[in-house]
């Protein structure tokens, strides 16, 4: 069965996403999983209209 990313990897993804908030770019909901040697990330990215 697939499982979510380990907490330290999940935290790194969140840290990268936070850097873009100052530019008005946000995201939600962050979902992660691992299948064998592959990692997957799913999220919606919200960008400014301009």
Domain segments of the chain as ranges: 7-46
Looking at the predicted structure, is the pLDDT value of residue 1 above 80? no
d(CA 38, CA 13): 15
Q: Using pLDDT thresholds of 50, 70 and 90, give the confidence band for residue 12.
A: very high
d(CA 47, CA 39): 24
**Mean pLDDT over each residue of the chain, to the nearest integer:** 94
The answer to whether residues 10 and 18 touch, using CB atoms and an 8 Å cutoff, is no
Q: Using pLDDT thresholds of 50, 70 and 90, give the confidence band for residue 2.
A: confident
Instruction: Determine if the pTM surpasses 0.85.
Output: no
């Amino acid at each position: 069965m697939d499982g979510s990313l380990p907490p330290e990897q999940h935290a790194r993804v969140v840290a990268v996403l936070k850097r873009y908030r100052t530019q008005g770019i946000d995201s939600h909901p962050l979902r992660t999983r691992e299948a064998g040697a592959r990692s997957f990330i799913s999220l919606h990215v919200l960008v400014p209209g301009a």
